[in-house]
Amino acid sequence: MVIAKKLFLHIGLHKTGTSAIQHALFHAREKLLAQNYLYPKSVAWDDHSHHRLLLPFWQGEDYGEAFDLLADEVAAEKCSNLILSSELFPNAYQQGARFPPLWDRVCALAEEIEIILYARRQDRLAASVFKQWSKSDDLKLAMSPSDFIADEVRINMDIEHYCRGWTNAPKVSALHLRSYDAEKKNLIKSFLAILGLPADTLSGLDRVRANPTLDGQQLIFRHYFNGLDLNQETSDALLSYILGNLSSKPALDIFTPEERHSLLERYKESNEAAFGGYGNTTTPFDSRMEESGHVFRKPTTPEILDFFVNLSQFDKRLAAHLFDKVIAKGTGDKPR
């Protein structure tokens, strides 16, 4: 079986522009092949990630078929460089005896492996996840920001722990840690530099917002309605209306300055160790503490009534159904 000389394994982390990177790599597949780099299509999902490799692992199912498909594609294309990208990888090395067999399949794909890991400052990561989970129809986040950030196990944000874990994996010859906060404006070029490709390789694909999160009025009202336990059909219709008719600006400060400082203090040593030991000098850890001045809050009663007046012009049945839910729940003007 022909294997690649080098595997670039992009493991995320979550909310660090992974969808944009995956979109760009997938749509430039032929251009990458011409330069001896393979971004596989055999195990790519509709979102262009390679979650197909890892989802069976997390579900306790057989992942052999997916790896067989991938191995066949690697052998057929005969590229020296292989690129895999999935945010389902990061915690895999912590799964005890289940991890070595999985990693054996990964190691069989290439002679050496380089890990690519973009990290986001913990307060910004938590805010981004809060917005994403509020949008998600699977999660429908309705808890307050204060309750969300108080749960330390909700999101694993110990960057140094990831770095140590992955550098110890067999065949890993390098780990590239980059600050998403510092490089997000030139994210694709940053990724290409790690691969050793020219900065214009993915020209035209470097400004795609593949997975935008909610903000502004969109976030305020979506989060509010998440607490009503709506059925899927109603929830889908409501989200469609919110996305199409409410503003996503301005950007909202999800957490108070005190909450943000507390979270950063919790991970101070981890951040210093990670970026001191695995980062690079051109994109250090971003420590700026900026505030937008626009605080996340619950909508006021007049705002809710105005929302229904406007919604009724688009969908009277949806407006009437939601209004009954709101009346049953009660409205209030208390912030956060």
Q: CB atoms < 10 A from the CB of 216, how many?
A: 16
- Kindly report, residue by residue over 45-93, the tens digit of the pLDDT: 999 999 999 999 999 999 999 999 999 999 999 999 999 999 999 999 9
Residues 238 and 165 in one domain: no
pLDDT band, residue 281 (cuts 50/70/90) = confident
Residue 150 covered by a domain = no
Q: Is the pLDDT of residue 335 over 60?
A: no
pLDDT band, residue 18 (cuts 50/70/90) = very high
What per-residue confidence (pLDDT) applies to 82?
98
As a residue count, the chain comes to 336
- Interstrand relation of 110-119 and 4-10 (parallel, antiparallel or unpaired): parallel
Residues 130 and 18 in one domain: yes
- What is the rounded average pLDDT of the residues 224-241? 92
Partners of residue 175 on adjacent β-strands: 115
By the 8 A CB rule, do 323 and 230 touch? no
φ/ψ of 152, rounded to 5, equals -70, -25
Residues 238 and 312 in one domain: yes
Residues 231 and 187 in one domain: no
Which tokens sit at 46? 């509709």
Tell me the residue range of the domain where 173 lies: 4-136+155-195
φ/ψ of 17, rounded to 5, equals 75, 20
Residue 102 covered by a domain = yes
CATH code for the domain of 61: 3.40.50
Locus of tokens 């309605």: 225
Residues 22 and 161 in one domain: yes
Q: Is the pLDDT of residue 232 over 70?
A: yes
Residue 281 covered by a domain = no
CA 28 from centroid of its chain's CA atoms: 21
Q: Indicate the burial class of 131 (C-beta count within 10 angstroms; 0-12, 13-18, 19 or more).
A: buried
Residues 99 and 21 in one domain: yes
What per-residue confidence (pLDDT) applies to 336?
42
Residue 54 covered by a domain = yes
What's the whole-model pTM score? 0.89
Residue 285 covered by a domain = no
Report which of 11, 51, 10, 46 is spatially closest to residue 26, judged by C-alpha positions. 46
Q: Is the pLDDT of residue 216 over 90?
A: yes
Residue 66 covered by a domain = yes
What per-residue confidence (pLDDT) applies to 257?
93
Residue 336 covered by a domain = no
Q: How far apart are CA 175 and CA 115, in angstroms?
A: 5
- What is the rounded average pLDDT of the residues 113-134? 94
3-state SS assignment for residue 234 = helix
Residues 177 and 236 in one domain: no
Residues 244 and 321 in one domain: yes
Q: Is the pLDDT of residue 145 over 70?
A: yes
HSE on the CB side for 296, CA within 13 Å? 28
Residues 90 and 221 in one domain: no
Burial per residue of 155-167, b for 16 or more beta-carbon CB atoms within 10 angstroms, e otherwise: bebbbbbbbbbbe
- What is the rounded average pLDDT of the residues 173-193? 93
What per-residue confidence (pLDDT) applies to 324?
85
Q: CB atoms < 10 A from the CB of 191, how many?
A: 27
Q: Is the pLDDT of residue 7 over 80?
A: yes
| Mean model confidence pLDDT for the chain | 91
Q: Is the pLDDT of residue 248 over 70?
A: yes
What per-residue confidence (pLDDT) applies to 209?
62
Q: How far apart are CA 9 and CA 3, in angstroms?
A: 15
Residues 49 and 166 in one domain: yes
CA 322 from centroid of its chain's CA atoms: 31
φ/ψ of 107, rounded to 5, equals -65, -30
By the 8 A CB rule, do 284 and 272 touch? no
User: Between 209 and 229, whose confidence is greater?
Assistant: 229
Q: Is the pLDDT of residue 328 over 90?
A: no
User: Between 284 and 5, whose confidence is greater?
Assistant: 5
pLDDT band, residue 193 (cuts 50/70/90) = very high
pLDDT band, residue 33 (cuts 50/70/90) = very high
Rounded to the nearest 10°, the torsion over CA 3, 109, 187, 32 is: 30
Residues 159 and 245 in one domain: no
Residue 60 covered by a domain = yes
Q: Is the pLDDT of residue 108 over 50?
A: yes
What per-residue confidence (pLDDT) applies to 334?
46
Q: How far apart are CA 21 and CA 5, in angstroms?
A: 22
How many domains are there within the chain? 2
- What is the rounded average pLDDT of the residues 3-14? 95
Locus of tokens 């460089």: 81
Residues 221 and 191 in one domain: no
